Homo-oligomer: A and B are copies of this chain.
Amino acid sequence: MAADPMDLFTRHEETLDKAVAAIRGRHFWTPYPESPSPRLYGEDAAPRGQAAFEAYLGRDFPLDQPSDGGRVATERSPYGIALEVGYPHADADTLVAAAGAALPSWRDAGVRARAGVCLEILDRLNKRSFEMAHAVQHTSGQAFVMAFQAGGPQAQDRGLEAVAYGYDLISAYASEARWEKPQRKGAPVAMDKRFHAVPRGVALVVGCNTFPTWNAYPGLFASLVTGNPVILKPHPRAVLPAAITVAVARDVLAEAGLDPNTVLLAAERPDERLAATLATRPEVRVVDFTGSTEFGEWLEANAAQAFVSTEKAGVNAVVVDSTDAYRGMLGNLAFSLSLYSGQMCTTPQNLFVPRGGIDTDEGPKSAEQVADDLAESIRGLLGEPARAAGVLGAIANDGVLARIEAAGGLGEAVLESAEVAHPDFPGAVLRTPVVVRLDADRREVYGREHFGPVSFVVTVDDTAHALRLLGETVTERGALTAAVYSTDESVLDEAERTALEAGVNLSANLTGQVFVNQSAAFSDYHGTGANPAATASLTDPSFVAGRFHFVQSRRPA
């Protein structure tokens, strides 16, 4: 039975209002608890989620959408379990036609109905966060708790954030107005005007292997709330989280009496290059992409008909000048380098340390000592296999393994990578991080990205040199994150100025439970769009404003 989508708006209006207040105030807020606690999600949420995940394995995923009848199964778990989930295949013509046919009704529903539908989708996804956690774990290789948090509530936060921006950017402007122009004599000239927010067209979201929901939800929900039907093209290795998302969305749409083809899954055959085909279709007017620099740049150059947002690669940097919490700094950095085996686009790669060493609360430390202490801190963090598995997760693909192998030869390895046995998954591929010490003159090495658990302690002349290298490498190759450690306010100011010039977000003196590679939705921007790592920021006004136009009509009152 069709529900009125405006009921969904009413149901979620308070959450939406709070989300709008949060994106404007940048304070802490979330409606989706990040803790996988039975107290928060219910006693049976964990076993139900696991059962739901297991029910998918070895079967055709239950998704009723336009298809050519073929099935594709392209995933394999980095934890070694068999997945063998089959997804319906559809070609570009079918997908674009179905999405295009859904556009008018989705547009005409209006921003409030669309926001209501989006929030209902997110609410249902939140209730299925355990199911999603398993799906994300076994496609990305993230450890379970991280897969729960980053794949579930934190991804939902980023989706809601995008909805809030879209809703705010449309509803801030009157949709109707009486315009009355005073005249020198007589009554004013009066016009009645209506303003419609119309979508650009069909939207494409191209997902990645490592964060199949977190990186896809901003584009998905930003496009939806602004009226664009979305084709979600997941990475062939991480289809299940996208399929669950699409299935939930289509359920909500159908129940609201809307066209379920407003959200479609584009599961592709190996080497089909479906993303490139879809992205260059004239009907496709919005493209969101997370992945390689090569394909990101190809999209920017070739999807000229579309509003294209890309997140690619970068060389994230840390400047170590001084600290009054040496152990805290080492522990914080060790965790940042180890978390999900450095397979985050936000993991630091280059740690710039002055040749003459640094001042700390434990006295001066030489550059060599800092590197060795960092290595020791990582060893301590990962010494116990069960804990190590919970931090590291599994290696997502062979490319990462190859870079780990190659890293040792790039300089002086102060920490070598080791295999770790997973306590639950004997087939899991786990590796500890590599830390390599280099001199600043080896820019051909640290000046490019080595995605995975590979970091460089780069010896520099002094802090000014470190800041200059941070600015130059970020300007040349991009970065999602930068960090600085210093007890000197003037160094912190200079670092902030350097980051601002290079267009990268900066974290200073992180020694506790906030990590440079984590950003909090509604408050922290993920990326800036101001350096080569990404053309967009999750989420700022420009990420959303390019997805719709205002079209007006007017007539004499």
A524 and B173 in contact, given A198-B500, A198-B530 (Cβ under 8 angstroms): no
The answer to whether the Cβ of A553 comes within 8 Å of any Cβ in the partner chain is: yes
Partner pick for A26 among B173, B512, B520, B540, CB 8 A cutoff: B173
A556 and B177 in contact, given A499-B551, A523-B193 (Cβ under 8 angstroms): no
* A interface, CB within 8 angstroms of B: 23-28, 35, 104, 169, 172-174, 177-182, 184, 188-189, 191, 193-196, 198, 200, 300-301, 304, 492, 496, 499-501, 503-514, 520, 523-525, 528-530, 537, 540-542, 544-546, 548-556
Contacts of A173 in B (CB 8 A): 23-24, 26
Whether B181 lies near A28 (C-beta < 8 A) is yes
Contacts of A26 in B (CB 8 A): 173-174, 177, 179, 193, 195
Whether A512 lies near B189 (C-beta < 8 A) is yes
Whether B523 lies near A196 (C-beta < 8 A) is no
Whether A178 lies near B551 (C-beta < 8 A) is no
Expressed in whole angstroms, the Cα–Cα distance for A168 and B179 within the complex equals 22
Expressed in whole angstroms, the Cα–Cα distance for A179 and B525 within the complex equals 13
Total copies of this chain within the assembly? 2
Expressed in whole angstroms, the Cα–Cα distance for A189 and B542 within the complex equals 30
Q: Give the one of A188, A196, A200, A553 with max B CB within 10 A.
A: A553
A-B contact pairs, 27 of them (CB 8 A): A24-B172, A27-B174, A27-B179, A28-B188, A177-B523, A193-B523, A198-B503, A300-B304, A505-B552, A505-B554, A506-B552, A506-B553, A506-B554, A507-B553, A507-B554, A507-B555, A508-B553, A508-B554, A512-B556, A524-B552, A525-B550, A528-B549, A528-B550, A528-B551, A530-B551, A542-B546, A544-B545
Complex: chain B residue closest to A513, CB-CB = B189
CB A535 to nearest CB in B, in angstroms, measures 10
CB A274 to nearest CB in B, in angstroms, measures 25
Partner pick for A524 among B23, B193, B492, B537, CB 8 A cutoff: B193
CB A299 to nearest CB in B, in angstroms, measures 12
Contacts of A541 in B (CB 8 A): 169, 541, 545
Q: Give the one of A499, A504, A507 with max B CB within 10 A.
A: A507
A177 and B528 in contact, given A542-B549, A550-B540, A551-B503 (Cβ under 8 angstroms): no
Whether B514 lies near A191 (C-beta < 8 A) is yes
A505 and B551 in contact, given A181-B520, A514-B556 (Cβ under 8 angstroms): yes
A549 and B524 in contact, given A25-B177, A508-B554, A556-B509 (Cβ under 8 angstroms): no
Expressed in whole angstroms, the Cα–Cα distance for A375 and B361 within the complex equals 89
Whether A537 lies near B550 (C-beta < 8 A) is yes
Contacts of A507 in B (CB 8 A): 553-555
Expressed in whole angstroms, the Cα–Cα distance for A548 and B543 within the complex equals 11
Contacts of A174 in B (CB 8 A): 24-27
Expressed in whole angstroms, the Cα–Cα distance for A178 and B504 within the complex equals 20
Expressed in whole angstroms, the Cα–Cα distance for A304 and B172 within the complex equals 31
Complex: chain B residue closest to A505, CB-CB = B552
Whether A551 lies near B301 (C-beta < 8 A) is no
Expressed in whole angstroms, the Cα–Cα distance for A28 and B181 within the complex equals 6
Whether B195 lies near A492 (C-beta < 8 A) is no
A504 and B551 in contact, given A193-B26, A200-B530 (Cβ under 8 angstroms): yes
